[in-house]
Amino acid sequence: GENVEQHPSTLSVQEGDSAVIKCTYSDSASNYFPWYKQELGKGPQLIIDIRSNVGEKKDQRIAVTLNKTAKHFSLHITETQPEDSAVYFCAASLIGQGGKLIFGQGTELSVKP
């Protein structure tokens, strides 16, 4: 089955700096890759997603890149702000198989003012 590895497990940056989180997946059939942000005591919230027919997607300060050949995808956050501090999860799924998400282990991002 699918396996998703996420790095780093913790990341500390200064406000205004960029943050990058990387994930690799094992099943080449996976074709949907969402990123979720989880704050303490809350459920995961989708922040951006990408499908395998595109290589990059941007939404304001957030971007995701996908390399299907290498089976890895990355989250890029620019101009980080203290409110970006949270745990971020990547996930992989196979469209048409019910949408079951396989999550990475999470990255705890801390943005210091």
- Could you list the residues that contact other proteins (CB under 8 A)? 4, 6, 32, 34, 36, 41-46, 49, 89, 91, 93, 95-106
Nearer to other proteins, 34 or 77 (CB): 34
> 72: which 2 tokens?
């890895």
From the CB of 107, what's the least distance to other proteins, in Å? 10
84 phi/psi in degrees, rounded to 5: -80, -10
Nearer to other proteins, 90 or 111 (CB): 90
Nearer to other proteins, 11 or 32 (CB): 32
Enclosing H/E stretch for 36: strand 32-38
